[in-house]
Amino acid sequence: MIRNVLGSVVALVGAAAAVQSPFHSWYDDRLGRDYRIQDLFDGITGVSSSVMGSVLLPFLFAALVTIVGVVLRSRWVVAVAGLVVLGFTVLWMVRVGQAAGSLTVGGDGSGLHWGVAQALAGGVLLLLGALVMSGRRGVRRGRAAEPYPVPPDDRPDTWPPTQEPGPSAYTSPGPEPEADPYTGPGRHRAENLAAPGDEDTAEFPVQDGTYPVQGEQQELDRYHPPHP
């Protein structure tokens, strides 16, 4: 976050310096805004230019791109703005050098002036601001995790992300069975009753010396009659 703020401030200062540079002297007391934008491609002439048709135009475009890059926190967009400023400044220097035969910096007011240095400094500050910015990586790290996808229709109780069966999503339509409240004698009868045809071998054990209830006593007498 701090890197983004610091880089944005440096980039905006660089863009402001680049936009202001055409209003200063560039070469032989000639203002930068007096150079036509087409002279950068066709050759430098002595014809003056309007403000919006001068080298100020690409610098304004670079400033607009810088603002967009700062808002989006995109270091690459800011870097493109810096390359635009440096590219047009270097192109102007090449054309002036071709027209004048050489580029000089004189103490008597001739040669390159402060406006060119300010334009170059603005481009360098834009690249430095893009280098300082951390971009949008911090936003991606803080973004909430995407929710798990909805399980397929044929496996409604599948639990993501392992795709293992989870708790069932459906309940039985019938009532739940209730426990037998009776706890008296004969409660612990045999669980495995005799199969059909095996009545003679069926046994009904008595637990802990307790006696079966009346209905169960009749069944015991039926299969095992008492001795006289």
pLDDT 10s digits, 165-194: 555 444 556 666 666 665 656 555 544 444
Q: What is the pLDDT of residues 186-204, one digit of tens each?
A: 555 544 444 455 444 444 4
CB 3 within 8 A of CB 134: yes
Alpha helices in 163-213 (DSSP H): none
Q: How confident is the model at residue 1, as a pLDDT? A: 81
Q: How confident is the model at residue 113, as a pLDDT? A: 86
Query: What is the spatial distance between Cα 189 and Cα 49, in angstroms, rounded to a whole number?
Result: 114
pTM for the complete prediction?
0.58
Q: How confident is the model at residue 136, as a pLDDT? A: 72
Q: How confident is the model at residue 49, as a pLDDT? A: 79
Residue 17's contacts (CB-CB under 8 Å, 6 or more residues apart) are 118, 119, 121, 122, 125
CB 69 within 8 A of CB 89: no
* pLDDT lower than 70: segments of the chain: 106-109, 137-228
Query: What is the spatial distance between Cα 19 and Cα 29, in angstroms, rounded to a whole number?
Result: 18
Q: How confident is the model at residue 53, as a pLDDT? A: 87
Query: What is the spatial distance between Cα 213 and Cα 174, in angstroms, rounded to a whole number?
Result: 32
User: Which residue has 């980039």 as its token pair?
Assistant: 11
Q: How confident is the model at residue 192, as a pLDDT? A: 45
Strands 158-159 and 30-31 turn out to be unpaired
Q: How confident is the model at residue 175, as a pLDDT? A: 65
- Beta-sheet strands, E only, within the chain: 25-27, 30-31, 158-159, 164-165
